[in-house]
Amino acid sequence: MSSPGLSRYTQNGVADSALRLFCEMRKRSKPNWVTIVSILPACAHSAALELGRMIHEYARTMSLDSHPTVQIAIMGMYAKCGSLLEARRCFDRMSERDKTVAAWNTMIAAYTSQGLGAESVSAFEAMVRSGLRPDAVSFTALLSGCSRAGLVDQGMRCFDDMTPVYSVEAAHEHYACIVDLLGRAGKLERALIFANQMKIESGPSIWGALLASSRSHQNLKVAEIAANRLFEIEPDNSGNYVLLSNMYAESGKWEEVKRLRAVLREKGMKKSPGCSWSEINGKSSYLFHRG
C-alpha cells in the first residue's frame, strides 16, 4: 500500500485500517516522510496517543522529523490527542525558519481545541511579532478560540483588524465564529444585528450558530428569526425544525409544535436520525427529542 493509499484511508475516516497498513509497511519497507504525514491524522482521529508517540519516535530515529511538514503533522497529532504540552515542545524545537504560518496556525488551533483562548491570542500575537502575516486559517483558529473562551472584546477586535490591518477578507467561517462568540456570551440581539449586516451572503453556518445559541439561552424570539432563515436556505433540513419545535414545546406552545409537524408532513420530510416524536402528558401535541 502506497502513502497516497494510506492518505485515502485516513481521509475516509478508516483510521484503524490506516494504522494497520502502516505497521505492515514497516515490515516490508521503510516509510518515508510522506507516509508519516499520511498516517499521523489517523492517530489523531483514533486518539491513539501512544501509537502517535511511537510514530514520532520512528520519524526521529529515521531523521524524518526535521522536515517542516512532518513537524507540523506531529504537532497536530499531539494537539488532537489532547497532549498540548508535547505539541508545544515540538513547536519550540522547530527552527525559526521552519516556524511558518502553517506551524503557527497549528499551535493556535491546538490552544483553541483545549479551550485556551487567551493562549490562542498570545500565540497569534507572537506570530505577528515574528514578522509573519496571518492568513484566513489563522483567523479561523483565533476567532474560534476567542469564542470558546468567551473573549468577546478581543474576538471583535481581531475580526475588525482582519482586512484593514492584515488584508484578509472575512469569509463565512469567520462571520460564523463571531456569531457564535456573541451568541455564547448571551449577546443574541447583537449577534442578530451582526448577521444581518454581513458584507457577504449569510449561509447556514451563520444562522445555525445563532439558532444553537438561542436554544442555549432560551431566547425564542431570536430562535424564530434564525430558524426561519434556515428554513429558506436549507428547506429540507429537518434538524432545524426539530430544534425550534423543542423550544416551542419547552415554552408550552403546543400549537406551534403541531404546526411544524404538519409542515414536515406536507414536505414529505422525515425526522432527523436520533430524533423522534413523543406525546407529552397525554396531550395530542408532540415534541421532537433526541435519544
Reading the chain (291 residues) residue by residue, the pLDDT tens digits are 444 444 444 444 445 665 666 667 666 667 778 888 888 887 777 777 888 888 898 888 888 888 899 999 999 999 988 899 999 999 999 999 999 999 999 999 999 999 999 999 999 999 999 999 999 999 999 999 999 999 999 999 999 999 999 999 999 999 999 999 999 999 999 999 999 999 898 899 999 999 999 999 999 999 999 999 999 999 989 899 989 999 999 999 999 999 998 888 887 765 554 444 443 443 433 344 433
Q: What is the largest CA-CA distance in the chain?
A: 69
Other Cβ atoms within 10 Å of 101 Cβ, number = 15
* Residue type present at position 198: M
Angle (nearest 5°) at CA 203 between 103 and 11: 45
Burial 177-197 (b: 16+ CB within 10 A, else e): bbbbbbbbbebbebbbebbee
The residue assigned the cell 449586516 is 197
Cα 60 to Cα 64, 88, 90, 276, distances in angstroms = 6, 17, 12, 52
**Cell numbers describing residue 51:** 501509537
pLDDT number for residue 32: 79
Burial 32-71 (b: 16+ CB within 10 A, else e): ebbbbbbbbbbbbbbebbebbbebbebbeeeebbebbebb
pLDDT number for residue 29: 65
**Cell numbers describing residue 100:** 511558518
CATH topology of domain 1-98: 1.25.40
Question: pTM for the complete prediction?
Answer: 0.81
Other Cβ atoms within 10 Å of 84 Cβ, number = 17
Domain ranges of the chain: 1-98, 239-291
Residues 256, 249: Cα–Cα separation, whole Å: 8
pLDDT number for residue 271: 55
